[in-house]
Amino acid sequence: MSKPTQMNAHGKETMDSDKEMKLLGERLRDWRIRANQTQKDFAARIGVSIPTLRRMERGDPATSLGAWVAAILVLDRRRDVQDLLREQKPLFDDLPEARNPRKRVRRQQTAGASCLVE
């Protein structure tokens, strides 16, 4: 059963995790084929069984992260992992207001402002 589609803050549809995993699996399969690797050979190189590799290529989210990292490294896609895990600077850091945050200033009350006159 598919998860419902989610909307982001701007009202645009976001992809759910099932779709993302399926796309990742398709990319893995494409990369393996471009590298002229059979499933048997590639599975042996990354240290998983052929059925596990098939599940990865279908985008099964239950596959271990270690298997994915091994596959990415064997395919010489290390930079993709580094880009994924690279520290991102916050979106608003480039705004001048973010560099010089406003300081709160208290207004001074006049001497008679707090008294009620009858």
Per-residue pLDDT of 34-71, as tens digits, reads 999 999 999 999 999 999 999 999 999 999 999 999 99
In the chain, the amino acid numbered 8 is N
Q: Are 91 and 47 in contact (CB under 8 A)?
A: no
pTM score over 0.75 = no
Domain 15-92 in CATH: superfamily?
lambda repressor-like DNA-binding domains (1.10.260.40)
Q: How confident is the model at residue 112 (pLDDT cuts 50, 70, 90)?
A: low
**Position 1 pLDDT exceeds 60:** no
Residue 35 vs residue 85, higher pLDDT: 35
**Position 77 pLDDT exceeds 80:** yes
Cα(92)–Cα(27) distance, integer angstroms:
32
pLDDT of residue 104: 73
Cα(77)–Cα(110) distance, integer angstroms:
68
Percent of the chain at pLDDT > 90 equals 43
Percent of the chain at pLDDT > 70 equals 69
Residue 35 vs residue 12, higher pLDDT: 35
Task: Give the residue extent of every domain in the chain.
Answer: 15-92
C-alpha distances out from residue 46 to 5, 9, 42, Å: 33, 39, 6
Tell me 94's DSSP state: G
